[in-house]
């Protein structure tokens, strides 16, 4: 047999090339619990810096309070770094020991 489809050199290969679009990595911003930072201050931070409603801010603050830690947002590296620095600066100014960190998603 000379003309079986498998022998032909011009058979179209059903392989699609997928352009590799690089998505920048995302970072979780995490808020940590402590025994001294007032609940209202944490709620204020979540409303102001993480665009949460008052109800959402209370819910997330209580999650951190009970569980010790919670993700408060997911951002590009630069935005996450800025958010962490803003939280730490506001806490420092009020002398609250509130801690905020970031972690690659
Ligand atoms: N545990 C604090 C208190 O009882 C409240 C608190 C919540 C502190 C969340 C930090 O990230 C935090 N006053």
User: Which domains are seen in the chain, by residue range?
Assistant: 35-104 (3.30.1390.10)
pLDDT in the model for residue 17: 76
Question: In this structure, which residue's CA is closest to atom 13 in ligand 1?
Answer: 38
Query: DSSP per residue over 30-85, as a string?
Result: EEE--SSS-HHHHHHHHHHHS---HHHHHHHHHHHHHHSEEEEEEE-HHHHHHHHH
Q: In ligand 1, which atom is closest to the CA atom of 32?
A: 11
pLDDT in the model for residue 12: 54
pLDDT in the model for residue 8: 47
Say if residue 81 is exposed, middle or buried (CB neighbours under 10 Å; 0-12, 13-18, 19+).
middle
Ligand 1 centroid to residue 2 C-alpha, Å: 78
Residue 88: in which H helix or E strand, if any?
A: helix 77-93
Q: Which residues line ligand 1 (CB under 6 A)?
A: 31-35, 37-39, 42, 61, 64-65, 98
Statement: residue 14 has pLDDT above 70: no
């Amino acid at each position: 047999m000379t003309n079986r489809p498998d022998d032909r050199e011009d058979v179209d290969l059903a392989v699609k090339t997928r352009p590799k679009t690089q998505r920048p990595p995302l970072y979780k911003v995490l808020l940590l619990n402590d025994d001294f930072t007032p609940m209202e201050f944490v709620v204020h931070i979540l409303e102001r810096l993480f665009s949460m409603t008052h109800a959402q801010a209370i819910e997330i603050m209580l999650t951190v309070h009970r569980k010790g830690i919670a993700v408060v947002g997911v951002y590009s590296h630069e935005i996450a770094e800025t958010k962490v620095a803003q939280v730490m600066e506001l806490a420092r100014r009020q002398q609250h020991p509130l801690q905020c960190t970031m972690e690659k998603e």
